[in-house]
Amino acid sequence: MSLRETRFQRFVQAMQHADQLLTATALDDLFEQMLDLMVSATEAEAGTLALYDEDTQTLVIRAVTGLSGAQRLLNTRGAASQGLAGDALRRGTALFVANASRDPYQDWISDMAAVLPLRTVHCQPLVSQGRPLGCIHVFNLPDTLSEESEELALINLLGSRLVSELEKAQILAEAQRRERRQQALLEIVSHLTTTLDRDELLNRIMSHACELLNVEATSIWLRDSARDDLVLHIAAGSNRERIVAQRVPARHGIIGHVVATGETVAVNDVSSDPRFYRQIDASSGFVTRSILCVPLKAPRIQLGDARGIAEERIIGGAQALNPRDGAGFAADDIALFETLASQAATVIRLAQLYAEVSALSTRIIDAITGAIDLKDPYTRGHSQRVSDFSVAIAEELGLSSDEVYRVRIASKLHDVGKIRVPDRILKKRRPLTDAEFAQMRQHPEYGLEFLKENGLLELEVLRDSWTALSQHHERLDGRGYPGGLSGDEISLVGRIVAVADVFDAITSHRPYQPARSVDEAISILRSLAGVEFDSDCVEALVRARARGLIHTQEERGERDHTPKRRRPTRRRSVWMAG
């Protein structure tokens, strides 16, 4: 078989191979296969494939073969209007350089000559309907080929065939990319309804941004109102573990400009931008080449009358760094990052509102329990201690963070019904009469009525609090009050608060009873476990005490007075009235 026939057969095989290129699972794989196919078909020594970036009007090398330092050449870019490639793209036809050393494009090929002694160069433009897609260069073709040879004409035909496959692959990749972005946005929105953990959500959003924008790193910077500078809050991607506790002074850096002006800024070469703040790279070891910064805009809600007044404000900024493919930030990249930043700002604002509402709720509850303390100075701090003990028990039992929070609130309100108990009973220093004790036993029901009358049970945060109010004096054997519940009829919250309540009553100073030791209290609780108290809750309290999580009134230094020791005249579980 002649050399010409051999080359024709190789060309036919190359055309057949071109029909199978779309089986590549990733664009980078496709680029490598296209380049390998062209190099093989031309019998060249090496080659590069570059894609056209319309936003920057540059060519970005996406595949290299046969050249030393291939990884160094990847993602480098050059002006699409210059050199052999620029001329080929303007003409829309392939160009062949038979003698590179005497060619007018020598300025362009000098960089390539540094890694490969050049003899011949073939530049195959990839153009579709006058629109440039990129170009393929192959170097050092056989000396028998010339600009007029039939083999080069066939190679040009192969190049046109590759354009078709490249277009199909790019359309498919773009469709897949948009689908991934839509799915990521849906996932982010769905997570907003499943957790209030601000940092978890922000990490998810920034991690999605890294993947969807194909960048090396993303971050969120928040305003520090005290110092009026920007503080790094969340970082995702490369070197995130080294980028900690970073600050940028107000109005410094590109991120500072964005936060100050509310503008979105994309810079593809930060070394040429005087606003770039280099200190962060210097301290972290990260090398920033290009950056996309968008402001975090969140509504500031001022509640008034029946509706809130929303006023947008800038609370910080988000940035994406260094696209991995070397391309600049396209318009849809910017739109996507602005959308993700908007979601992040919403998360931050919701978390702030939640924290403010939670703090307000806690203060209101503290004010209510404080009012109880004013009525009954001998049990000052009792509600707070019972709440602390109940939380320690709940955590030992392995309850979820949400359940522990509800236990904290419910237990703090367990004695709110004492607001309706007359002062003459609460402050009585002698043992109560049967009638007085019967009225004291009504305080669980009084507390439940108080919450109902004020519409507090409709609040989500107080959803389960009624069980702590109404059941903390119930007993497993059914001899408690006010409902005479037994066994599993008593909720877990009610059982927890019952143990915490009695432990504090035994170890605290009362006008009718001196404080007993922790060991005595534990001994009493254990002796009544399974009869009055839940055994698991009792042992959970013991473990929490051993871990240093339970501190009595005396240990906290909360004792305001030393009541006169007095032996009760009636044999009843006096701590049950606590």
3-state secondary structure 357-376: HHHHHHHHHHHHHHHHHHHC
The Cα–Cα gap between 182 and 442 comes to 58
Nearest Cα to 493, choosing from 551, 577, 406, 418? 406
Quick one: pLDDT at residue 353? 77
Residue pair 458/515 in contact by the 8 Å Cβ criterion? no
Tell which CATH classification among 3.30.450.40, 3.30.360.10, 3.40.50.980, 2.40.10.10 matches the domain 195-339.
3.30.450.40
376-577 carries CATH number 3.40.50.2000:
no
Q: Where are the beta strands (DSSP E) in 30-181?
A: 46-53, 58-65, 77-79, 95-97, 121-128, 131-139
**334 within 8 A of 292, measured Cβ to Cβ:** yes
Is residue 159 a contact partner of residue 38, using CB atoms and an 8 Å limit? yes
Are 81 and 63 in contact by the 8 Å Cβ rule? The answer is no
Q: What is the pLDDT of residue 414?
A: 86
Residue 30: which of 13, 11, 56, 51 has the closest Cα? 51
Fold match flag (3-175 vs 376-577): no
- pLDDT, tens digit (0-9, with 9 covering 90-100), for 261-294: 999 999 988 888 899 988 888 887 888 889 999 9
Tokens of 457: 């049970």
Encoded tokens for 49: 């494939």
What pLDDT does 116 receive?
A: 74
382-396 vs 535-546: helix crossing angle, rounded to 10: 100
**Domain-wise residue ranges, the chain:** 3-175, 195-339, 376-577
C-alpha span between 160 and 24 (Å, rounded): 19
Structure token pair of residue 273: 């931008």
**Which contacts (CB < 8 Å, 24+ apart) does range 9-15 have?**
10/40, 10/41, 10/43, 11/41, 11/151, 11/154, 11/155, 11/158, 14/40, 14/41, 14/158, 15/157, 15/158, 15/161
Per-residue pLDDT 10s for the chain (578 aa) are: 554 555 545 555 545 555 555 454 567 777 888 888 888 878 888 888 888 888 778 888 888 988 877 677 787 878 888 888 888 888 888 888 888 776 555 444 555 666 677 888 888 898 888 889 889 888 888 877 666 666 677 777 777 777 777 777 777 777 776 777 677 666 766 666 566 677 887 888 888 888 888 888 999 998 887 777 898 888 888 766 666 668 898 889 999 999 999 999 999 888 888 999 888 888 878 888 899 999 998 866 555 544 555 567 888 999 999 888 766 788 888 888 888 888 888 888 877 777 777 777 778 778 877 777 777 666 678 888 999 999 999 999 999 988 898 898 888 888 888 888 888 887 777 778 888 888 888 888 888 888 778 777 666 666 666 777 788 999 999 999 898 999 999 999 999 999 999 999 999 887 667 889 999 999 999 999 999 999 999 999 999 999 999 999 888 886 544 444 444 433 344 444 45
Give the count of beta carbons closer than 10 Å to the beta carbon of residue 466.
21
3-state secondary structure of 414: coil
Joined together, the tokens standing for residue 19 give 């029909």
pLDDT score, position 191: 62
Contact, 137 vs 108, CB < 8 A?
no
58-65 and 46-53 beta bridge pairing: antiparallel
pLDDT score recorded for residue 379:
67
Q: What is the tens place of the pLDDT at every residue in 51-89?
A: 888 877 888 888 898 887 767 778 787 888 888 888 888
Run of H or E residues at 467: helix 465-471
Q: Decide the pairing of beta strands 215-224 and 291-304.
A: unpaired
Q: What is the dihedral of CA 160, 162, 163, 165, to 10 degrees?
A: 140
Query: What is the C-alpha separation between 417 and 482, in angstroms, rounded?
Result: 13
Under 8 Å between Cβ of 208 and 340: yes
Nearest to 141 by CA among 273, 216, 208, 42: 42
CATH topology of domain 3-175: Beta-Lactamase (3.30.450)
| Single-letter residue type at 323 | P
Amino acid, single-letter form, for residue 121 = V
pLDDT the model gives residue 241: 62
